[in-house]
Copies of this chain bind each other. A is one copy, B any other.
Amino acid sequence: MRGLIVGRWQPPHKGHVKAIRWILERVNELIIVIGSADQSYTYENPFTAGERFEMIDGALKQEGVSRDRYIIVPVPDIKYNSVWVKHIENYVPEFDIVYSGNKLVCELFRDEGYKVKEQKMYEREKLEGTRIRKMMLENKNWEELLPEYVVSYIKKIDGAGRIRRIEGLYE
């Protein structure tokens, strides 16, 4: 059985890795969609799809998860919600079940006939993208919330510095 999970992974954090491991106990293979793949260098989406790919892939490798168990697929945005599930389907191999913690995502996939399961969340008040980006902006202890591989990758590309420099290209 093949599962699918959708996220923006800006950046991938410890809660993400735990959720992926939890799903992998339930499916043979997991498609990890990188949403908003065309977005980068903005406060909401600081990292490119390629950087996010590298971070997810490296973090899972470090955890000892084999690539036989997952595939990562970047998918650009489509500002057209009523065709969104079809848009995802276009980019990824077939799947049997969707995991998500978002009610609208659940509904949209259900409306297209998919089996959908609520995704387990881990310490959501702490492990949450918006909060982590804010900590990077303010130079707080964001490192302890991310997998080791992701921390060293972000340091290598000075990702926290990038977030601080982003204030809108034309202002």
Chain A: residues with CB nearer than 8 A to chain B?
A: 6-8, 35-42, 48-51, 53-54, 57, 66-68, 71-76, 78-84, 86-87, 89-94, 102-105, 107-108, 130, 162, 165-171
Contact = CB atoms under 8 A, between A and B. Distances in A.
Contact of A67 (B35, B53, B68, B168): B68
15 contacts: A38-B80, A39-B80, A40-B82, A40-B90, A41-B82, A50-B92, A50-B93, A66-B68, A67-B71, A74-B91, A82-B90, A83-B86, A102-B170, A104-B167, A105-B169
B83 A83 contact: yes
> Quick one: copies of this chain in the complex?
6
B90 A83 contact: yes
Given A6-B170, A67-B71, 6 more contacts: A49-B92, A76-B76, A82-B89, A83-B90, A102-B168, A107-B162
